[in-house]
A and B are shown apart, each in its own frame.
Chain A
Amino acid sequence: DGGITQSPKYLFRKEGQNVTLSCEQNLNHDAMYWYRQDPGQGLRLIYYSQIVNDFQKGDIAEGYSVSREKKESFPLTVTSAQKNPTAFYLCASSIPGQTYNEQFFGPGTRLTVL
């Protein structure tokens, strides 16, 4: 089955720790995205990547880092510099360069800071 997977589904972190959220896709999409969603809110873009070995900051990149070494994978690290990391994190992918770019989403990771 083609799709996007995220792991883990739930993640607990102590203050001061870095954690890495996994995102993998087998849709052969070049573009991948990370969003943050707070309760009752819409999605805010953290980072995005249009192609392997390249990525750009989104609207709320501070305290986060990413890598894009493989087309299939776009891991997100939440660093200790992120002041309020408790949130729901969504990964998505799409075919870049198209005007009508539908995004495909993973099931999400819920991060809680203890």
Chain B
Amino acid sequence: SQQGEEDPQALSIQEGENATMNCSYKTSINNLQWYRQNSGRGLVHLILIRSNEREKHSGRLRVTLDTSKKSSSLLITASRAADTASYFCARPSNTGKLIFGQGTTLQVKP
């Protein structure tokens, strides 16, 4: 499959804890993107990390990329109940399409 692999498939934490999601892929990339999807809604772009970057921050989000291991991680610090959602990694194919992973469903308990 061309899709990336994400783990865990589901994650349940308490408010205030950190949440880490991982994404692995098989082919070379020039960037990797993370999206968020609230239940029953469309996806929202969170952050893009380029292949020459190792780490990127956006508010409480931290994304890392290890091209040698073909993996990326998304860390949400000090989680809130409102962070409850599914999170997807996506990478562009050589034809410009985005290939999405299966997603991690995060539940943050108040």
Flag whether B110 is at the interface (Cβ < 8 A): no
Known: A41-B102, A43-B100, A110-B40. A102 touches B48 (CB 8 A): yes
Taken together as a complex, chains A and B put the C-alpha atoms of A108 and B33 apart, in Å, by 20
Structural contact, A42 and B97, CB atoms closer than 8 A:
no
Q: Which of A4, A92, A100 is B31 in contact with, Cβ under 8 Å?
A: A100
Cβ of A100 to closest chain B Cβ, rounded Å = 5
Known: A41-B102, A105-B42, A107-B42. A96 touches B96 (CB 8 A): yes
Taken together as a complex, chains A and B put the C-alpha atoms of A69 and B103 apart, in Å, by 33
Taken together as a complex, chains A and B put the C-alpha atoms of A50 and B95 apart, in Å, by 11
Flag whether B25 is at the interface (Cβ < 8 A): no
Residue of B nearest to A43 (CB): B100
Structural contact, A108 and B96, CB atoms closer than 8 A:
no
**Residues in B whose Cβ lies below 8 Å from that of A40:** 105
**Residues in A whose Cβ lies below 8 Å from that of B45:** 102-104
Considering the complex, which residues of chain B in the window 20-71 have a beta carbon less than 8 Å from any beta carbon of chain A?
30-31, 33, 40-45, 48, 50
Q: Lowest 7 A-B CB distances belong to which pairs? A: A105-B42, A43-B100, A42-B102, A105-B43, A42-B100, A102-B45, A107-B42
